[in-house]
Amino acid sequence: LSHARASIAAALVDIDAQAAIDRSLARFDATAQEGRARLHALLEAQSYRLASWRAAADEINWRRFFEVTELAGIRIEEPEVFDAMHATIFRLYREGVIDSVRVDHVDGLSDPRAYCRELQKRLDGLKKERPPSAWTRPWIVVEKILAADEDLRADWKVDGTSGYDFMNEAGALLHDPAGAEPLAAFWAAATLRPADFRTEQSAARRQILAENLAAEFNATARALHRVARADIDTRDIALIAIQRALTELLVQVTVYRTYVDSRGRVPADTEVIVAALRAAHETVRPSDRTVLAWLDHWLGGDLADEDLPDVLPQTATRKQRDERRRAITRFQQLTPPLAAKSVEDTAFYRYGRLISRNEVGSDPGDFALTVDAFHAKCLRRATAFPHAMLALATHDHKRGADTRARLAVLSEMPQRWTATLRRWLTLNTPIAEQGRLVDETVAENTPMTPPAGLAAKAHAVAESAAVPLPEDQLMLMQTLIGAWPLALAGPLDANDAATRDGISAFVERVAAWQEKALRETKRPSDWSMPNAAYEGVCRAFLDRIMDVGASVFAREAAALVASIAPAGALNGLVQAALHLTVPGVPDLYQGTEFWDFSMVDPDNRRPVDFDLRRAALEAAEAPAALLEPWRDGRIKQAVMAKLLALRADKPDLFALGDYQPLVLEGPQAAHGLAFIRRQGADRMLVVVAVHAAALLEGSERPQVEPTRWGDTEVLLPPGTASNAWLDVVTGARRRSVSRRIRVAELLDTLPVAVLRDAARG
Tens of pLDDT, residue by residue over 706-735, are 999 999 999 999 888 678 999 999 999 999
pLDDT at 463: 58
Q: Is 688 left (phi over 0), alpha (psi -120 to 50) or beta?
A: beta
Indicate whether 291 pLDDT > 90.
yes
The 3-state secondary structure of 472-498 reads: HHHHHHHHHHHHCCHHHCCCCCCCCHH
Question: How many Cα atoms sit within 13 Å of 142 on the Cβ side?
Answer: 25
pTM of structure: 0.91
* Coil vs helix vs strand at 139: strand
Indicate whether 312 pLDDT > 60.
no
Strands (E), 332-449: 389-391
**Segment 319-375, tens digit of pLDDT:** 878 899 999 999 999 999 999 999 999 999 999 999 999 999 999 999 999 999 999
Mean pLDDT of 485-502: 96
pLDDT: is 469 or 437 the higher one?
Answer: 469
Indicate whether 459 pLDDT > 60.
no
How many CB atoms are located within 10 Å of the residue 16 CB? Answer: 8
Confidence of residue 3 (pLDDT cuts 50, 70, 90): confident
Mean pLDDT of 155-164: 97
pLDDT at 433: 61
pLDDT at 310: 39
Confidence of residue 438 (pLDDT cuts 50, 70, 90): very low
Per 3-state DSSP, the chain is made up of helix, strand and coil in percentages (nearest 5) of 55, 10, 35
Q: Are 303 and 312 in contact (CB under 8 A)?
A: yes
* Coil vs helix vs strand at 133: coil
324 to 110, 303, 645: CA distances (angstroms): 14, 15, 54
Indicate whether 750 pLDDT > 90.
yes
pLDDT at 315: 53
pLDDT at 431: 57
CA distance 216 to 279: 23
Confidence of residue 594 (pLDDT cuts 50, 70, 90): very high
Indicate whether 2 pLDDT > 80.
no
Give the least confident one: 57-66, 94-103, 112-121, 204-213: 57-66
Instruction: Tell me the percentage of the chain whose pLDDT exceeds 90.
Output: 80
pLDDT at 565: 98
pLDDT at 614: 97
**Segment 195-246, tens digit of pLDDT:** 999 999 999 999 999 999 999 999 999 999 999 999 899 999 999 999 999 9
Q: Across the chain, what does the average pLDDT equal?
A: 91
CA 172 to chain centre: 13
Give the least confident one: 302-316, 388-402, 599-613: 302-316
